[in-house]
Structure 1
């Protein structure tokens, strides 16, 4: 891992995410890129012409530049290679654009847990970033800045549809010293006998030449509850899941389940594009 992007709105939760990113950067000798976006309505953006300054916007920009510089010099980033980017734009679009333009390996951002994503990632911005990002996104929950990859619950449906990009996920987790615990959730509407579920998982995982792995089947009323309850049962450090881009969390996480899981989980979550 060479580059970690950390969008910040200078809030307390953004600071927690930054500390978590710093810990990962130290382990992998990665550069941290701090990103602050002055989120402007589209009509305001249309008014801004090259070489033409709007006084109110310039005041916002100068204040943000000072905060960004101060953040880059904070104690938790001491000894790390840190750069900063300040732009005017629309939050969701610019996070994706900056990540692509700078060959980012991981995006780290904060979450307020059960109350939903607030402040910097307002409304559906976080969901949009996760759905469209080709880059792994790590959402830090609560005040947990000490992120561990030791025990990662990796929920999957073990279908061929989820095989695309799976090896990339495994390599990423291995690079960070993760011990993935693969999980299949059985629900009343999509129940599989144990021997069928075990065979599906075995056939799926053997194509990735895994020497050893842990696998569990967990029965619950729905997928979200199953993942959360199982992660709590084994005291997981992190929950990992795959996304299918603009289609949302196909098969494994359909409709609003992805957003509910992100909002309700007390544990941090990392997502990967399949």
Structure 2
């Protein structure tokens, strides 16, 4: 893992994301790019310098962020490795994804909510849009994760072919922390599978990854989300990996599960799209 992108909007949740990225960077040596987007519907990056002068409010916000951000990050989240900082103007989700593409990021870490969040609301709209379009795995957090949190993870899936492709995208992260991976199939009335079927799928999934410690679990619940929450609570697991694919696919959980877990729990949720 070489590059981690972290959106930062001065909210408490984005600070938790920065702290999480620092823990990942300290272990992996990855570079952190912190991107702050000043929201605007103006396509700022296509404007000429002369045209930009017609938006004095945006220019003022840009200069203010440019002046305050470096010292603010340094004070609230001190770290040995410097954080590269970018300030952009435009639609937040579009520019976050643009930075991911430009930097060829391996991981995007962001807060479950953004600036202006009111307790009790669903997750932020920026996160929802980023989850659906990001080309790299997205780790969404409510609270900062520490090194011990990364020692074990729940990989919740139906363990179809796409799940193995998704695991390949995060294998470097798993290896860095020597994470024990708890394979989790939540058996629900709507999508019931026999123990033999699940074991066969999990054994196929682990084949070729013998250097990683896996544990296999089947957990019965009426709903996938509640099953994941109850399982992780019972096993003292702080984060979960979900495979997000096309909504027509039966081999992976949907992005809606990611959103619901973030809303109902304090779990870190790593969404991997295939």
Partner of 2:81: 80
How far residue 210 of structure 1 moved from its aligned partner, in angstroms, is 5.1
CA contact (8 A) 1:155 1:184 kept: yes
CA contact (8 A) 1:6 1:107 kept: yes
Is 2:68 the counterpart of 1:51? no
Partner of 1:71: 72
| Structure 1 residues 215-246: Cα deviation after superposition (integer angstroms, max 9, x where no partner) | 100110011111111111111021111222xx
> How far apart, CA to CA, are the structure 2 residues paired with 1:255 and 1:23?
26
CA contact (8 A) 1:30 1:81 kept: no
Partner of 1:194: 195
Figure out how many residues of one structure are paired with residues of the other and give that number.
265
> How far apart, CA to CA, are the structure 2 residues paired with 1:216 and 1:171?
23
**Structure 2 residues not aligned, in runs of 5+:** 114-118
| Structure 1 residues 145-198: Cα deviation after superposition (integer angstroms, max 9, x where no partner) | 435211100001111233333323333312232111001111001111222221
Partner of 1:204: 205
Query: Relative to 1, partners in 2 of residues 1:22 and 1:207: Cα closer, same or farther, differing over 3 Å?
Result: closer
Partner of 1:25: 25
| Structure 1 residues 42-87: Cα deviation after superposition (integer angstroms, max 9, x where no partner) | 4x75994433312111111111112222234325333213211011
CA contact (8 A) 1:39 1:89 kept: yes
How far residue 253 of structure 1 moved from its aligned partner, in angstroms, is 2.0
> How far apart, CA to CA, are the structure 2 residues paired with 1:99 and 1:46?
16
Partner of 2:116: none
**Structure 1 residues not aligned, in runs of 5+:** none
Is 2:186 the counterpart of 1:185? yes
How far residue 101 of structure 1 moved from its aligned partner, in angstroms, is 0.5
> How far apart, CA to CA, are the structure 2 residues paired with 1:196 and 1:47?
54
Provide the aligned C-alpha RMSD in A.
Answer: 2.4
> How far apart, CA to CA, are the structure 2 residues paired with 1:241 and 1:58?
40
SS at match of 1:180: strand
Query: Relative to 1, partners in 2 of residues 1:76 and 1:249: Cα closer, same or farther, differing over 3 Å?
Result: farther
CA contact (8 A) 2:27 2:176 kept: no
SS at match of 1:229: helix
Partner of 1:116: 122
SS at match of 1:154: strand
Is 2:98 the counterpart of 1:92? no
> How far apart, CA to CA, are the structure 1 residues paired with 2:60 and 2:67?
11
CA contact (8 A) 2:188 2:221 kept: yes
> How far apart, CA to CA, are the structure 2 residues paired with 1:24 and 1:160?
28
Partner of 1:171: 172
> How far apart, CA to CA, are the structure 2 residues paired with 1:18 and 1:271?
18
Greater shift, 198-207 or 20-29, is seen at: 198-207
